[in-house]
Amino acid sequence: MSETKHKSPYAVEVRGLSRSFGPRKILADVSFQLKHGEILTIMGGSGCGKSTLLRHIIGSLKPDSGEIYIDGTETTKLDDEEFSKVRKRFGMLFQTGALFNSMTVGENVALPILESSDVAPHIADLVVKLKLELVGLTGFENLKPAQISGGMKKRVAMARALALDPDLLFCDEPTSGLDPVMTSVIDTLTVDLTRKLGMSAIVVTHDMTSAFRIATQMVFLFEGRVVATGTPEEIKANPNPILQQFINGYADGPIPLKLSKDDYLKRLLQS
Ligand SMILES: Nc1ncnc2c1ncn2[C@@H]1O[C@H](COP(=O)(O)OP(=O)(O)OP(=O)(O)O)[C@@H](O)[C@H]1O
Ligand SMILES: [Mg+2]
């Protein structure tokens, strides 16, 4: 991948991003950068705003304030048509996998190819074969999602995310619900494919083993705010008690173990 291909040193740059849903502030002044070729993990507890942040970066949500640059292009104010050009550079693996159960594995992977261009079906078939080979699922085209394991489904979702040869790969919890071996398979794939295909990646995860295995940069969120950014070594050495509690899985610390139903509702309604 030649450096001159890029407009900016950063594949993604987020500046001062804030977003509320009703009275609840979900993202508060979030800033970070992802350099080309790197894998950045967004970490933090359930409900801290990770998926919401990712949905802003891929343009499904608009912020109240702040900017998002994709290789130097500010995207938050682009209209749908302009954004669709930027979106062509993305591959996205959603938190729920989101495979269509009525379609075969091959049809699922072909979907973005057929949706985005006038590719002849036999060319799309060829691309599907290549993408399935990349994730180690050669020959699985004709099975339905119900006939394959959870780990295989994630790999099909990965093949689909790679269908349009993206520069940028976004994954939301790619290893959730997988056993440690399958988690390791997905992690290895993420690192290998990012390198081999010259991509940059943002991976949302609360799996610490996985995060420390794949990340070159980390962003840690707590209640919608960035509490730390840095390399895995810097994050490990960071004395912030929120971070240390999360990394080490301590029950005692600043992260509340459990909210009462009343506290939860109060927080939800901000009353
Ligand atoms: N469209 C929406 N409308 C209202 N509230 C929302 C919306 N989307 C997300 N939220 C709220 O924003 C908060 C953050 O949600 P988000 O899905 O980003 O969390 P997360 O960090 O990805 O959690 P998890 O690790 O469980 O996936 C949650 O409290 C959620 O209820
Ligand atoms: Mg999420």
Residue 271 pLDDT: 44
Cα distance between residue 99 and residue 114, in whole Å = 16
Tell me the pLDDT band of 267, cut-offs 50, 70 and 90: low
How confident is the model at residue 1, as a pLDDT?
47
In a domain, 182, yes or no: no
Is 135 a residue whose pLDDT tops 90?
A: no
How far apart (Å, rounded) are the C-alpha atoms in residues 12 and 72?
8
- What is the predicted pLDDT for the residue at 234? 95
CA 56, 59, 60, 63 torsion-angle sign: positive
Ligand 1 contacts CB of residue 56 (under 6 A) = no
Q: Choose between 136 and 225: higher pLDDT.
A: 225
- Residue 203 CA, ligand 2 centroid: distance in Å: 11
| Cα 157 from Cα 151, distance rounded (Å) | 10
Let me know the angle formed at the C-alpha of 217 by 215 and 222, rounded to the nearest 5 degrees: 100
Task: Give the residue-averaged pLDDT of 239-257.
Answer: 79
The pLDDT value recorded for residue 13 is: 97
Q: What is the DSSP string of 201-240?
A: EEEE---HHHHHHH-SEEEEEETTEEEEEE-HHHHHH---
The answer on pLDDT for 3 being more than 60 is: no
Q: In angstroms, what is the span from residue 80 Cα to ligand 2's centroid? A: 24
Domain-located, residue 176: no
CB 6 within 8 A of CB 15: no
pLDDT, mean over the chain:
88
Average pLDDT for residues 2-22, to the nearest whole number? 88
- Does the beta carbon of 268 sit less than 6 angstroms from any atom of ligand 1? no
**Confidence band of 134 (pLDDT split at 50, 70, 90):** confident
Query: Within a domain: residue 32?
Result: yes
Residue closest by Cα to atom 3 of ligand 1: 21
Model confidence band, residue 98 (pLDDT cutoffs 50, 70, 90): confident
Whole-number percent of the chain with pLDDT over 70 = 92
Confidence (pLDDT) at 256 = 65
200 neighbors 167 (Cβ within 8 angstroms): yes
- As for how many domains the chain has, the answer is 1
- Closest protein CA for atom 6 of ligand 1: 21
pLDDT attached to residue 221? 95
Confirm or reject: Cβ of 2 under 6 Å from ligand 1: no
Question: Is residue 77, in this structure, part of any structural domain at all?
Answer: yes
Q: What is the mean pLDDT of residues 102-124?
A: 88
Instruction: Supply 112's token pair.
Output: 């973005």
Between 6 and 212, where is the model more confident? 212
Q: How far is CA 187 from CA 32, 178, 201, in A?
A: 22, 11, 12
**Residue 46 Cα to ligand 2 middle (Å):** 7
Residues 152-188: tens digit of each pLDDT? 888 899 899 888 889 999 999 988 888 888 889 889 9
CA of 125 to the centre of ligand 2 (A): 32
User: In angstroms, how far is the first alpha carbon of the chain from the final one?
Assistant: 52
Work out which ligand 1 atom sits closest to the CA atom of 22. Answer: 4
Does residue 47 have its Cβ closer than 6 Å to ligand 1?
yes
19, 24, 52: residue to mutate for ligand 1 pocket, most atoms within 8 A of CB: 52
- The answer to whether position 184 is within a domain reads no
CATH code for the domain of 16 = 3.40.50.300
What pLDDT shows up at residue 2? 45
Ligand 1, atom nearest to 268 Cα: 29
- Tell me, yes or no, whether 131 lies in a domain: no
Does the residue 122 lie in any domain? no
Let me know if residue 166 belongs to a domain: no
* CA-224 nearest atom, ligand 1: 14
Residue 64 belongs to domain spanning: 3-89+199-269
Measuring from atom 19 of ligand 1, which residue has the nearest CA? Answer: 47
CA angle 252, 19, 89 (to 5 degrees): 105
Mean pLDDT of 11-23: 96
